[in-house]
Chain A
């Protein structure tokens, strides 16, 4: 009743090909955009903006990237945090040391990450399944080692590069609201781009490879090209996400932030959110960003002060439990739950 798909009469091919063919979806999206652009920046506190919304958006972007690779192209990567690190370091170095304008630096971070991702994606041409998954771990360790051991990268011994003040065309970006808009704009740009990517030829090639690579190759989908493009695009997104989160949230590129556990968390995000869906990346990232805060608040109601080990343990338990729970109960994640809700809303509140 409340979610209506009827009465949508497509008259042109253009309408048929639209991303959101149903008017209600378009309205819903419009409302979300108004919320994101006009309501949240002016109503949310600085704490919410800078500590929750910023990481949420950045991780959404990274999860979206991983979703291209794992959810669409079916190649598991457990070294994705390393590509975020490459993006973070290279954009900081480009901007801070060489004075490249900020938008180009962020783009450059993405491009360097993408190059790194492509190199580590090369084994995927020969190695499959778990052998590949473990090989991507090599990316994590090698990149971590390079970033901490090459003096040139960090200019110091601890492998940390501080983020300088951000100027776009002479305009200082310092308050949480301005940072929020910067991240939001990049996020929307890349989401639209990514959504169209997976709707098109490339996305279909990826899906074909995921479902059965031998069959895909037989009907003429080049595994070599498409797998490498998947790695490149995916790590481009990771690199941009890494550089954004470093510029706006961490304020210094430190390899500790991009360790193996972040890789697992990204994987967890796309499982919980829904593999092979763009929407799911957002659900998953939002969920995983809010989860620690939620757990902390819950513990605070029970005890006065939460020791860090208890918090870490309960986070691990809840996180692990949720992954298992989702895999058993809803293997397609929150995106599928949303789909189910929409289907129910077609009839609700009438029984038939």
Chain B
């Protein structure tokens, strides 16, 4: 039984990371209707930038510089790519995001190199025993940081003026425009926030697995999470992330050996498909009623 819980908890901790990436997707989708396929590449860029900056400056300054890079990226994206595409069909915006993802990959790797880099930001990685279960302190720290990030975001969206403006934009573009909220700037701020979320995810995964191209593939792990929770629901992203993380880990350990292993790559998609069959807009997604 202890083994079961160990697998479950390590799955949940992986799920936290999925939630982070999926949250980035949901934030941008809700605010601007862009299905931001480049979310994983933003994590990669953040990881690459942080490793690059760490070679010349202390950690706190490097983090600030990384966030600055993400902010520049966010503003550039919104004002160069998505401003001319305002009011285009969602499909076009999605394709633009695919293009953006290639751009970020290419530029990031051209600047900081394609080789795999280690990232160490000084969080100890030792196993501690709680009851009968062993957990890595590293995972715990990042679980805590992710929770703090979510709490911070909730506070930001509920209490600050900018946050409320962003929520207004997410609810109804035209109504928000009519009360004087600058739409493009609101989008840019949303992209910056998504960039910060991507940075946290990128740093967490990067210090685990090394910063390299495959980091951008965590977006693929986050996609089933996203559609399971509902594309436009932050709460859905968090819950579905935990659910998928736990279930895929359990499936890999307990079902995997019978079918040849490696089912982690597609198991989340199966779960998501199964749920979508009964709830086509995910668990918490907004149901769209179509009229002719």
Binding site for B on A (CB under 8 A): 74, 76, 123, 126-131, 133-135, 137-138, 141-142, 144-145, 148-149, 212, 214-215, 218, 260, 264, 267-268, 271, 309-310, 312-324, 327-328, 331
Contacts of A271 in B (CB 8 A): 95
Could you tell me which residues of chain B, from 37 to 55, have a CB within 8 Å of some CB in chain A? none
Contacts of B261 in A (CB 8 A): 149
Across the interface, do A313 and B110 meet the contact criterion of CB distance under 8 Å? yes
Across the interface, do B103 and A142 meet the contact criterion of CB distance under 8 Å? no
Contacts of A138 in B (CB 8 A): 224, 266, 269-270, 272-273
**Interface residue from B95, B231, B290 paired with A131 (Cβ < 8 Å):** B231
Instruction: State the Cβ distance, B92 to closest chain A Cβ, in Å.
Output: 6
Contacts of B214 in A (CB 8 A): none
CB closest chain-A residue, reference B108: A313
Across the interface, do B280 and A317 meet the contact criterion of CB distance under 8 Å? no
CB closest chain-B residue, reference A79: B269
Q: How far is the CA of A134 from the CA of B227 in the complex (A)?
A: 7
Question: B262 in the interface, Cβ–Cβ < 8 Å?
Answer: yes
Top 7 closest pairs, chain A to chain B, by CB: A320-B102, A323-B99, A316-B106, A317-B106, A320-B103, A138-B269, A141-B266
Q: Could you say which of B2-10, B80-88, B144-152, B196-204 contacts chain A?
A: B80-88
Instruction: State the Cβ distance, A227 to closest chain B Cβ, in Å.
Output: 14
Pair count A-B, CB < 8 A? 142
Majority secondary structure of chain A interface residues (helix, strand, loop or mixed): helix
CB within 8 Å for A327 and B94 given contacts A145-B262, A309-B109, A317-B107: no
Instruction: State the Cβ distance, B236 to closest chain A Cβ, in Å.
Output: 12
Across the interface, do B280 and A215 meet the contact criterion of CB distance under 8 Å? no
Contacts of B100 in A (CB 8 A): 320, 324
**Interface residue from A129, A148, A324 paired with B81 (Cβ < 8 Å):** A324
Question: B276 in the interface, Cβ–Cβ < 8 Å?
Answer: yes
Across the interface, do B226 and A309 meet the contact criterion of CB distance under 8 Å? no
Question: B265 in the interface, Cβ–Cβ < 8 Å?
Answer: yes
Across the interface, do A130 and B103 meet the contact criterion of CB distance under 8 Å? no
Contacts of B92 in A (CB 8 A): 327, 331
Across the interface, do B223 and A327 meet the contact criterion of CB distance under 8 Å? no
CB within 8 Å for A267 and B224 given contacts A327-B85, A328-B85: no
Contacts of B277 in A (CB 8 A): 123, 126-127
Could you tell me which residues of chain B, from 247 to 270, have a CB within 8 Å of some CB in chain A? 259-263, 265-266, 269-270
Contacts of A145 in B (CB 8 A): 262-263, 265-266
Q: How far is the CA of A314 from the CA of B101 in the complex (A)?
A: 13
CB within 8 Å for A149 and B260 given contacts A268-B98, A313-B110, A327-B99: yes
Instruction: State the Cβ distance, A287 to closest chain B Cβ, in Å.
Output: 14
Interface residues on B, range: 35 or more
Contacts of A141 in B (CB 8 A): 265-266, 269
Across the interface, do B96 and A327 meet the contact criterion of CB distance under 8 Å? yes
Binding site for A on B (CB under 8 A): 35, 81, 84-85, 88, 90-92, 94-96, 98-107, 109-110, 113-114, 220, 223-224, 226-227, 231, 259-263, 265-266, 269-270, 272-273, 276-277, 280-282, 285, 290-292
Q: How far is the CA of A319 from the CA of B107 in the complex (A)?
A: 12
**Interface residue from B98, B231, B263, B270 paired with A130 (Cβ < 8 Å):** B231
Contacts of A134 in B (CB 8 A): 223-224, 226-227, 269, 272
Across the interface, do A214 and B291 meet the contact criterion of CB distance under 8 Å? yes
CB within 8 Å for A144 and B107 given contacts A137-B220, A320-B101: no
Across the interface, do B110 and A310 meet the contact criterion of CB distance under 8 Å? yes
Instruction: State the Cβ distance, B15 to closest chain A Cβ, in Å.
Output: 18
Across the interface, do A130 and B90 meet the contact criterion of CB distance under 8 Å? yes
Across the interface, do B266 and A142 meet the contact criterion of CB distance under 8 Å? yes
Q: How far is the CA of A310 from the CA of B95 in the complex (A)?
A: 24
Contacts of B263 in A (CB 8 A): 145
Contacts of B105 in A (CB 8 A): 313, 316, 320
CB closest chain-A residue, reference B102: A320
CB closest chain-A residue, reference B281: A131
Instruction: State the Cβ distance, A89 to closest chain B Cβ, in Å.
Output: 17
Across the interface, do A130 and B106 meet the contact criterion of CB distance under 8 Å? no
Q: How far is the CA of A135 from the CA of B85 in the complex (A)?
A: 26
Q: How far is the CA of A218 from the CA of B290 in the complex (A)?
A: 12
Contacts of B106 in A (CB 8 A): 312-320
**Interface residue from B84, B95, B223, B226 paired with A323 (Cβ < 8 Å):** B95
Most buried by A among B103, B107, B113, B259: B103
CB within 8 Å for A126 and B262 given contacts A314-B106, A324-B100: no
Contacts of A218 in B (CB 8 A): 292
Q: How far is the CA of A324 from the CA of B109 in the complex (A)?
A: 19
- Give 11 A-B contacts (CB < 8 Å), ordered by A residue: A131-B276, A133-B35, A135-B273, A137-B220, A268-B99, A315-B106, A316-B109, A320-B103, A320-B106, A321-B99, A321-B103
Across the interface, do B35 and A130 meet the contact criterion of CB distance under 8 Å? yes
Q: How far is the CA of A264 from the CA of B95 in the complex (A)?
A: 9
CB closest chain-B residue, reference A315: B106
Across the interface, do A215 and B292 meet the contact criterion of CB distance under 8 Å? yes
CB closest chain-A residue, reference B109: A313
CB within 8 Å for A214 and B292 given contacts A134-B227, A271-B95: yes
CB closest chain-B residue, reference A327: B96
